[in-house]
């Protein structure tokens, strides 16, 4: 089975200390997060899932996996725009963490997904989405929310957090159906 590097999950898992069984940190440890860094992480995480899910919307073999990709890409596009609108309103310039490898890791993950074919792609994508959403939920709860200073930013993250739970449940259902493991 194809294993895909989880760049956005790696970024958020590192910040949260990593979910059980995750590989070692892929980024240097961030001592403290400020709101501009959190906005950048939030934006990148959504962008990365838009990319991987957009690919699944067109490449997946199974119609329900294609539909999941389309739904996730649309949802993350909306959430990313909400974050960008709020950053603009607050006059916050997103500032990625120092030594951020997210873009490179995302490119590697996308290359692996693009190389996968047929049902192997579906399984790789679903495993990717399960691990990604697990890491995001963990990071939101353990790292991002406790670090956010701005009330409006915290409200936005709290507002979208249930959608990450719903995405995780949907990805797990299809991963189980098609035998995908992370």
State which residues form the domain around 118. 7-16+33-178
Q: Which pLDDT value is given to residue 118?
A: 96
Give how many domains the chain has, as a whole number. Answer: 1
CATH number at residue 96: 1.20.1260.10
Question: How far is Cα of residue 103 from the mean position of the Cα atoms in its chain?
Answer: 12
Torsion, CA 62, CA 66, CA 71, CA 77, rounded to 10 = 150
- The verdict on pTM exceeding 0.85 is no
**Does the residue 171 lie in any domain?**
yes
**Does the residue 22 lie in any domain?**
no
**Does the residue 146 lie in any domain?**
yes
**Does the residue 23 lie in any domain?**
no
Predicted confidence (pLDDT) at residue 15 exceeds the cutoff of 70: no
Q: Which pLDDT value is given to residue 8?
A: 42
Torsion, CA 129, CA 130, CA 136, CA 141, rounded to 10 = 160
**Does the residue 21 lie in any domain?**
no
Instruction: List the Cα angle 121/106/163 in 5-degree steps.
Output: 75
% of the chain exceeding 90 in pLDDT: 70
Predicted confidence (pLDDT) at residue 18 exceeds the cutoff of 50: no
Q: Which pLDDT value is given to residue 102?
A: 80
Q: Which pLDDT value is given to residue 182?
A: 66
Q: Which pLDDT value is given to residue 101?
A: 81
**Does the residue 102 lie in any domain?**
yes
């Amino acid at each position: 089975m194809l294993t895909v590097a989880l760049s956005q999950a790696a970024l958020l898992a590192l910040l949260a200390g990593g979910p059980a069984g995750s590989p070692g940190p892929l980024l240097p440890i961030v001592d403290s997060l400020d709101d501009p860094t959190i906005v950048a992480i939030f934006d990148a995480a959504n962008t990365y899932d838009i990319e991987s899910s957009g690919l699944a919307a067109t490449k997946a073999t199974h119609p329900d996996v294609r539909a999941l990709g389309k739904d996730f890409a649309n949802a993350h596009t909306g959430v990313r725009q909400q974050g960008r609108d709020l950053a603009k309103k607050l006059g916050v310039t997103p500032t990625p963490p120092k030594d951020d490898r997210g873009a490179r890791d995302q490119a590697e993950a996308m290359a692996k997904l693009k190389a996968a074919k047929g049902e192997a792609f579906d399984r790789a994508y679903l495993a990717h989405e399960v691990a990604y959403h697990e890491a995001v939920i963990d990071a939101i709860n353990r790292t991002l929310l406790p670090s956010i200073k701005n009330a409006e930013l915290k409200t936005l993250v709290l507002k979208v957090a249930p959608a990450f739970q719903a995405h995780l449940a949907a990805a797990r259902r299809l991963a189980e159906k098609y035998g995908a493991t992370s």
